[in-house]
Structure 1
Amino acid sequence: TPDEVTALAAAGVNALQVLPRHGGPVVRGARTLDDTGSERAYLPVRRVLSSIGQSLERGLGWTVFEPNGEALWNTVRRSVEDYLQTLFRGGAFAGTTPDEAYFVRCDRTTMTQADLDAGRLVCLVGVAPLVPAEFVLLRVVKRTAVP
């Protein structure tokens, strides 16, 4: 019944419902079991975040050969911003300006001295998949050349 589907959706369960006009069972809902109240509870948001994370993981693999310093941070920041700008122009994020849609931070505020000493590059990426300027955060950690 519609009430049962609503109750299941509130619990993060995507019900199967037989709808003859669709030729059989249909998944009703697009939620995950995330009960924190965040946008990550929605499958489309989770898919976008997963896709971004995987793309950054692959696309930043070259950092392992670079010294961890400001030159690398600037290059990585520009590269990630270019990628997110492409997604923004394609309608992947909410907002009418890039500032409302995403941000990238890759500097001394995202890394400790221990990170630098261990050859870890840490970037913070925020995207607004549903509401402008309400960012869901991704923490990106990559290996760099150890000094």
Structure 2
Amino acid sequence: MSSGPTAVPVFIADFGTAFEDVARVNSWPDLPRAAGEGAASGVTGGVLRGYFDNGGGYCYLTNTAGKNMQEALTSVEAFDDVTILVPLGLWDGGADTAGETARAVTAHAAAHRAMAILHAGRDHDVRQARDAARAFKLDADQSSHAALYHPWLIPSADGAQPVPPVGAVAGVWCRVDRDRGVWKAPANATVYGARPSQAVTDAGQGEAQPVDVLREFPGQSTLVWGARTLNETDDRWKHIPVRRLADMVERDLQGALNFAAFEPNSQPTWEALRAAADNYLLALWKQGGLQGHTPKEAYFVQIGESVTMTEEDVKAGRIVMKIGLAVVRPGEFIPVTVTMTGTVGQA
């Protein structure tokens, strides 16, 4: 069992008549073919250029023209490699519309083990960015699957206008995942081709939390300087790499359960699943994705009747496997439950 893609974004925007639902873009030069010549210009073009300049790989675009946000999000469901949702023009319709969009996108992200990358308004200062994030009124699950970045970026091109930082940040996420792994915080990472439209001080960054900031330090380039989700209530899910690692593991193990379809819901099947999960997590630990001096300190796998399943679960064809991950320090486990229902043979 191997890991699936961890950093494949879909950019959500009004692309006019260039395409109807979803288009795949493989590189910056490929953008005009996939989404029309206009997609490479203006604010949207600046965001997408920032994505590819900062290490982004292939991505998807979903068109909101002529449809509401929920319809646009539904069109994305056919692409099961999408792990990042990036709404563009978040503030174009004002604060109320921004909140509605943020709630829809983060709800979709939470339901699909993905993350939403959001941004503050162009003229927000650090306090306004923080207050705007809180005004979205995301629930606990939504907020743990979302991050919001401030301020906007000014591309290096002459006369360029500020653009939301979400494209460059999505590119950084892709680059860090590729170079280090999804468990590495996508922070203290260089942003290429742009500088912040506002200076953020140490004090300002403290006021901004849980908003993540982009900063320019003396003698250094622009850096992503923060790795927090918008969750302020649950210590387990306050950091982006923890949330993304847990989601990756759950996605991968859920896929592994597919081989158990129509197998007897009995001990041999459970042992095969346990062994597959153990091998997967052992490899993850060896890569540095989990803490702990030994595998026992890094993770645990539990499965079985009277362990993770009741007699009723077994009769209903339901398999429940529980995983614990030491993502912060040895002994501190983040629980993950993987369930398959309705397609497993009864014992």
Structure 2 residue 256 is matched with structure 1 residue 56: no
Task: Measure the CA separation in 1 of the matches of 2:220 and 2:261.
Answer: 50
The answer to which of 13-22 and 127-136 deviates more is: 13-22
Equivalences, count: 144
CA 1:39–1:21 in structure 2 vs 1: closer, same or farther (change >3 Å)? farther
Structure 2 residue 296 is matched with structure 1 residue 94: no
Deviation at 1:27? 3.0
Superimposed CA distance per residue, residues 39-90 of structure 1 (whole angstroms, 9 cap, x where no aligned partner) = 3211111121111111112222111121111111111111100110011111
> Highest CA radius of gyration, 1 or 2?
2
Kindly indicate whether the alpha-carbon contact (under 8 Å) linking 1:99 and 1:133 is maintained by their aligned counterparts in 2.
Answer: no
Deviation at 1:13? 1.4
The answer to which of 79-88 and 44-53 deviates more is: 44-53
Task: Measure the CA separation in 2 of the matches of 1:21 and 1:50.
Answer: 37
TM-score, reference length from structure 1:
0.87
* Correspondence for 2:276: 79
* Correspondence for 2:308: 110
Superimposed CA distance per residue, residues 76-133 of structure 1 (whole angstroms, 9 cap, x where no aligned partner) = 1111001100111111111101111000000122112222122110011001011101
5+ unaligned residues in a row in structure 1: which ranges? Answer: none
* Correspondence for 1:65: 262
* SS of aligned partner of 2:214: strand
* Correspondence for 1:3: 203
Deviation at 1:34? 2.0
Kindly indicate whether the alpha-carbon contact (under 8 Å) linking 1:39 and 1:130 is maintained by their aligned counterparts in 2.
Answer: no
The answer to which of 50-59 and 122-131 deviates more is: 50-59
Structure 2 residue 333 is matched with structure 1 residue 125: no
**What is the percentage of aligned positions where both structures have the same residue?**
35
Structure 2 residue 344 is matched with structure 1 residue 145: yes
After TM superposition, where is structure 1 displaced by more than 6 Å over at least 4 residues in a row?
none
TM-score, reference length from structure 2:
0.39
Task: Measure the CA separation in 1 of the matches of 2:275 and 2:281.
Answer: 10
Greater helix share, structure number: 1
The answer to which of 116-125 and 137-146 deviates more is: 137-146
Q: Which gives a bigger RCO, structure 1 or 2 (Cα 8 Å, sep 6+)?
A: 1
Task: Measure the CA separation in 1 of the matches of 2:219 and 2:242.
Answer: 28
